[in-house]
Each structure stands twice: as structure tokens, then as C-alpha cells.
């Protein structure tokens, strides 16, 4: 056999065996990739934004898990939802990137709370948001709310803003609202009108304000499930 066109092993440069190859550590690669994403060097703006969103969602999931286990008000709401026949597993409280300025929302079917990763000022803000949305879930479960009915929607918004901590004084200061007389009531009413106005079934802000006014007294004074716990 003519071997004139072949190269013998003695003519080749010595090569390292796979066992002796020097490979960059995965930890180093992760650090290098993270540095690129932080500085923007070697990555696109889209990749940076996607990484930031993933970071926000991971942080959201961590805080959500803590609150579902240790926040007295969140645990209380989950307990009462379960007692009403609407148990809420952790998978029904979802952290996700959101395009809106809202911190969270409630989806009646299939009964889920959406938390917008990166939209929370602190853990207390997330706590009040979860409580607000769980109040909507409680109303939907127990009172069969028709969300296309502006009066129904207004009542649930009044209750959620009143009972969740959304209208505590410090939160209103952050929003730029300073009211020295009936601050809490003013906040509850304003936020309820804003939410009902955003309902696709609402024809105008005037209709939203009218719906809130019509149910204000009874719904503002309705503190279920908190009053039921006190009576038990």
C-alpha cells in the first residue's frame, strides 16, 4: 500500500488528550457572561433586557415564596380562600415580566394572580399587591362577581384598596398625594375609580365614578373576611 500521501504520527505536532485539555470553568463563564450583560460589551440591548427581566422574575419568585409562608396578612387571605373552597397553590400566583406600569393583576379565569417582576419598590409593596389581588379572588370565589358589572367591580376595588394596605399613608406620599383629612378614604375612592375606568365594559370615567359612589357606603364598611375571623 502506497503511504506517500499520508502523514505519520511522528510528523504531527503532539496533541493533548481530552483528559488534559484546559477548559474554562463553568463558574468563570457564568461570571464572564454576567459581566458582558452588565456592561453591554459583546451583547445586544435585547439580551441585556431579557437578562434583567429574568433577574426581576427570580427575585419576585423568591419574595413571593417568603410572603406566602410568613406574611400574616397573605397567609390569612390564603387560609380564608381555602375555607371558601378556593385553595390557591403557589403556581396560581405568577411572577412575570409586564409591559404595563401596574404591579399586579387578577385573572378571574382560571383564577390567577399576576405579579410584575421589577415593578415593586420593596417587599411591603409586593405584600399589599398580593393581598389586593387575593381580595379580588376572594370576592370572585365567594360572591360570584360579574366583572362586566361596574357596580360589582367597583365594590371589589373598594374592598381591595381599603383592606390590603394599598392606601397606607406612606404609600400615598410616594405617589405624591398628601391629604390631611380622610386621606385613606380619598385614596380608596380614587384608586377604585381608576380601576373601574380601565374596565373595557366602562364607557367613561363618569360612569366609573358613579358606580363607585353607588356602592361606596356598603362596600367600604364590608371588611370580610377580617370581621369573620374576629367573630369566630
**Catalytically annotated residues:** 133
CA–CA distance, 229 with 44 (Å, rounded to integer): 53
- The C-alpha cell at 36 is 458582558
Quickly state the pLDDT bin for 5 (edges 50, 70, 90).
very low
Confidence (pLDDT) at 96: 92
* 95-139 per-position pLDDT tens digit: 999 887 889 999 998 899 999 999 999 999 999 999 999 999 999
Quickly state the pLDDT bin for 11 (edges 50, 70, 90).
very low
* Higher pLDDT among residues 26 and 12, named by residue: 26
Judged against a pLDDT cut of 90, whether residue 92 lies above it is answered with yes
Average pLDDT over residues 23-28: 58
CA–CA distance, 112 with 91 (Å, rounded to integer): 8
* Higher pLDDT among residues 187 and 8, named by residue: 187
Confidence (pLDDT) at 28: 53
* 174-224 per-position pLDDT tens digit: 766 776 668 899 999 999 999 999 999 999 999 999 999 999 999 999 999
* 134-171 per-position pLDDT tens digit: 999 999 999 999 999 999 999 999 999 999 988 987 76
In the block, residue with C-alpha cell 451583547: 43
Quickly state the pLDDT bin for 39 (edges 50, 70, 90).
low
In the block, residue with C-alpha cell 417587599: 123
What residues contact 186, with CB distance under 8 A and at least 6 apart? 177, 179
CA–CA distance, 129 with 138 (Å, rounded to integer): 14
pTM equals 0.77
Confidence (pLDDT) at 180: 61
What residues contact 98, with CB distance under 8 A and at least 6 apart? 114, 116, 117, 119
Amino acid at each position: 500500500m502506497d503511504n506517500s500521501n499520508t502523514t505519520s504520527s511522528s510528523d504531527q505536532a503532539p496533541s493533548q488528550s481530552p483528559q488534559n485539555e484546559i477548559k474554562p470553568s463553568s463558574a468563570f463563564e457564568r461570571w464572564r457572561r454576567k459581566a458582558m450583560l452588565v456592561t453591554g460589551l459583546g451583547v445586544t440591548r435585547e439580551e441585556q433586557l431579557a437578562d434583567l427581566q429574568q433577574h426581576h422574575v427570580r427575585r419576585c419568585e423568591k419574595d413571593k415564596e417568603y410572603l406566602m409562608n410568613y406574611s400574616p396578612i397573605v397567609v390569612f387571605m390564603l387560609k380564608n380562600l381555602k375555607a371558601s373552597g378556593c385553595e390557591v397553590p403557589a403556581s396560581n400566583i405568577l411572577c412575570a415580566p409586564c409591559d404595563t406600569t401596574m404591579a399586579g393583576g387578577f385573572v378571574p379565569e382560571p383564577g390567577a394572580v399576576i405579579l410584575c417582576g421589577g415593578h415593586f419598590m420593596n417587599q411591603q409593596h409586593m405584600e399589599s399587591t398580593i393581598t389586593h389581588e387575593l381580595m379580588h379572588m376572594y370576592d370572585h370565589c365567594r360572591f360570584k362577581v360579574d366583572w362586566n358589572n361596574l357596580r360589582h367591580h367597583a365594590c371589589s376595588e373598594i374592598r381591595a384598596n381599603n383592606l390590603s394596605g394599598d392606601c397606607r399613608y406612606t404609600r400615598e406620599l410616594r405617589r405624591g398625594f398628601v391629604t390631611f383629612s380622610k386621606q385613606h378614604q380619598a385614596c380608596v375612592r380614587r384608586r377604585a375609580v381608576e380601576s373601574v375606568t380601565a374596565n373595557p365594559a366602562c364607557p367613561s370615567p363618569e360612569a366609573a365614578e358613579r358606580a363607585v359612589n353607588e356602592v361606596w357606603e356598603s362596600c367600604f364598611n364590608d371588611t370580610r373576611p377580617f370581621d369573620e375571623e374576629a367573630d369566630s
